[in-house]
Amino acid sequence: VTSPSVDPDDVAPAVRELDTIVSLSKRRGFIYPSSEIYGGINAVWDYGPLGVELKSNVKRAWWRSMVQERDDIVGLDAGILMHPQVWVTSGHVGSFSDPLVECATDHRRFRLDELPGTEGLSVMELQDPGIVERLGLRCPVDGGPLSAPRRFNLMFKTFMGPVEEDAAVIYLRPETAQGSYVNFKNVLQSSRKKLPFGIAQIGKSFRNEISPGNFVFRMREFEQMEMQYFVRPEAEAAAAFETWLPARRAWYERYGVAPSRLRLREHAPDELAHYAKKAVDVEYRFPFGWKELEGVHNRGDFDLSRHSEASGEDLEYFDQTTGEHLIPWIVETAAGADRAAFTFLIDAYREEEVRGETRVSLALHPELAPYTVAVLPLLKKRPEIVELCHRIKADLQKHVMAVYDDTAAIGKLYRRQDEIGTPWCVTVDVESLEDGAVTVRDRDSMGQERVPVEGVTRLILDRLEASRAG
Ligand code: ATP
């Protein structure tokens, strides 16, 4: 279901048709439909050989800027399964739901707030049993009558232990954040951090989305990259919010996303989640419209007070300098690893005419590209050339992902690497055997230079380092 764009300041997406990215992903091994030989399973996707590299580079880049380069943030890896009370206390059992409507004729289900004609409706209006009739909404597929909205909880349930009974019901986490809250005291005591400090996590989350789609934009199983920043109440939280919001937007720009295709959107008061004091989304101009890429939330003291109350555990922070006891406030940055990787993939896509042919390239940031370098022989029939290629590749492989390919002529080999975003290619030719030099080709400028064999690894590592700094 797409609704017409009403943004006056709209910009063109980097790619017109989503299908361009979907088919490139399948063809080159970034992303495949899950369980495809059985017809697939809706809203679950598998990362292929290149996709797993891209996504892990995205996660590493996030970790680098959120944990490695900071003194005030530590990492955590909490379990996907948690005590079921966590989700009662957090409010997810009671209210982590979307308004669902069902078509009486084809039984398709839709999220009410995603149907054309519901733009701008408040949360209260979306719950109004008479809303469908009042607006005259019909099924967007076959025009059939739609039911009144009902709340549909998005958490996946399963059973812990051998007996499938109500008492054994547990949930697959729908967010990683709760793991950081329930470990607040553990982390505080073991890391001896002082406010303000943060806990960062990357991990799988699960949501039984009513209307998943748009490829990996909305999945039922996905990975989140979330950071909870614990601060002193109110003023410090407001200030931290104003620091984190531009920092998070800048992170996407640093890794290559065009600033014009990013914007910030603040949640209206009636759109705010039950816990939130303020929420702003970093949005990206996807081929299907402006959509959330990441959320920055001021959650107040909701989380720690509620968990403190429900668990009976004292989650207060004791400030040794002032002698004060306080419940920290939390500013959260909540991003998706899949959505971020998807965004980098879309925004890097380039098509241009080169000598009458269409050249497709992915201008991925070198740190995100699946392969940093490809080593290619100009003549695979010459064993000395192939042997030198393998020697160069083996040295590069100690540091970065490097690949060797000799299954086509050089022009085609370059095009293949361009299409998957490999920033540099090293080509060994007949002359290399005499002068001990090879050609290093740059993906974006297509410029070539001769470099002594012994200097290749250093050159690639220097360029990678320079791209990181720049
Ligand atoms: P929406 O309103 O679109 O359902 P949300 O506001 O509930 O999303 P958050 O709970 O703030 O999303 O989740 C934080 C981030 O996790 C999102 O910005 C997104 O990048 C990622 N994310 C959330 N749900 C999904 C999903 N179903 N598939 C992929 N990524 C997701």
Cα 221 to ligand 1 centre (Å): 11
The whole-number average pLDDT for the span 403-420 is 97
Q: At 403, phi and psi to the nearest 5?
A: -135, 150
Mean pLDDT of 163-189: 94
For strands 373-377 and 402-404, give the pairing: parallel
Atom nearest to 226 CA in ligand 1: 14
Separate counts of helices (H) and strands (E) for the chain: 15, 23
Q: Is the pLDDT of residue 3 over 50?
A: no
Q: Which of 304, 295, 300, 293 is nearest to 276 (CA)?
A: 300
Structure-token pair, residue 327: 């419940």
Torsion of CA 74, 75, 79, 80, to 10 degrees: 110
Q: Can you tell me the mean pLDDT for 195-200?
A: 98
For ligand 1, atom 1, the nearest C-alpha belongs to: 292
Query: Residue of the nearest CA to atom 18 in ligand 1?
Result: 294
**Centre of ligand 1 from the C-alpha of residue 349, in Å:** 24
Pick the atom of ligand 1 nearest to 218's CA: 28
Give the ligand 1 atom nearest the CA of 220: 27
pLDDT of residue 275: 81
| Strand partners of residue 224 | 203, 336
- Supply the mean pLDDT for the chain: 95
From 100, 201, 339, mutation site for ligand 1 pocket: most ligand atoms within 8 A of C-beta: 339
Cα separation, 160 vs 164, in Å, equals 8
- Give the pLDDT band (50/70/90) at residue 9: low
Residue 164 has pLDDT above 90, yes or no: no
Instruction: Name the closest-CA residue to atom 19, ligand 1.
Output: 336
User: 131 with 125: CB under 8 angstroms?
Assistant: yes
Closest residue by Cα to residue 352 from 360, 364, 344, 343: 360
d(CA 351, CA 353): 7
Q: Give the pLDDT confidence score for residue 165 in this predicted structure.
A: 84
Query: Could you report the per-residue pLDDT of 208-248, keeping only the tens digit for each?
Result: 998 888 999 999 999 999 999 999 999 999 999 999 999 99
CA of 226 to the centre of ligand 1 (A): 11
Which of ligand 1's atoms lies nearest the C-alpha of 291? 3
Q: Which atom, in ligand 1's list, is nearest to the CA of 207? A: 27
From the CA of 359, how far away is ligand 1's center (Å)?
A: 34
Residues in the chain, overall count: 470
pLDDT given at position 273? 81
Q: Please name which of 32, 3, 369 lies closest in space to residue 215, comparing C-alpha atoms.
A: 32
Res 5 pLDDT > 90: no
- C-alpha neighbours within 13 Å on the C-beta side of residue 288: 18
What's this model's pTM, rounded to 2 decimal places? 0.93
Residue whose CA is at the smallest distance from ligand 1 atom 29: 218
Give one DSSP letter per residue of 200-255, joined into a string: EEEEEEE---SS-BTGGGB-SEEEEEEEEEEESTTHHHHHHHHHHHHHHHHHHHHT
How many Å lie between the centroid of ligand 1 and the Cα of residue 335? 7
Q: Does residue 285 contact residue 261 with C-beta atoms inside 8 Å?
A: yes
Residues having CB within 6 Å of any atom of ligand 1: 175, 207, 209, 218-219, 222, 224, 292, 294-295, 334-336, 338-339
Give the pLDDT confidence score for residue 6 in this predicted structure. Answer: 58
How far from 193 is each of 181, 236, 329, CA to CA, in Å? 15, 17, 15
Q: Which ligand 1 atom lies nearest to the CA of residue 273?
A: 6
Please, what is the Cα angle at 229 between 226 and 231, to 5 degrees?
165
Confidence (pLDDT) at 1: 40
For residues 432, 434, 436, 441, the Cα torsion angle rounded to the nearest 10 degrees is -20
DSSP 39: T
Rounded distance from Cα 407 to ligand 1 centre (Å): 41
Mutation to probe ligand 1, out of 292, 293, 298, 346 (largest number of atoms < 8 A from CB): 292
Ligand 1: centre distance to CA 336 (Å): 7
Q: Are 346 and 214 in contact (CB under 8 A)?
A: no
CB 354 within 8 A of CB 415: no
Strands 221-231 and 197-206: antiparallel
Question: What is the whole-number distance in angstroms between the Cα of residue 33 and the centre of ligand 1?
Answer: 20
**CA–CA separation, 3 and 113 (whole Å):** 11
pLDDT > 90: percent of the chain? 86
> From ligand 1's centre to the CA of 466, what distance in Å?
33
CA 227 to ligand 1 center in whole angstroms: 14
In angstroms, the CA 108 to CA 443 distance is: 46
| Among the listed residues 14, 23, 9, the one whose alpha carbon sits nearest the alpha carbon of residue 287 | 14
Tell me how far apart the alpha carbons of residues 118 and 257 are, in angstroms, rounded to a whole number: 30
Angle of helix 18-28 versus helix 410-420 axis, rounded to 10 = 120
C-alpha 224 – ligand 1 centre gap (Å): 8
Mutate which of 153, 201, 221, 222 for ligand 1? The one with the most ligand atoms within 8 Å of its CB, which is 222
Backbone CA torsion sign across 400, 420, 63, 31: negative
Cα separation, 185 vs 183, whole angstroms: 6
DSSP state of 146: B
Share of the chain above pLDDT 70, in %: 98
Q: What is the best residue among 58, 220, 221, 224 to mutate for testing ligand 1's pocket, by most ligand atoms within 8 Å of CB? A: 224
For the stretch 53-74, pLDDT in tens is 999 999 999 999 999 999 999 9
> Residue 430: how many CB atoms within 10 A of its CB?
11
DSSP label at 148? P
Band (7; pLDDT cuts 50, 70, 90)? low
Give 95 Cα–ligand 1 centroid separation in angstroms.
Answer: 16
Least trusted range by pLDDT, from 9-13, 87-91, 325-329: 9-13
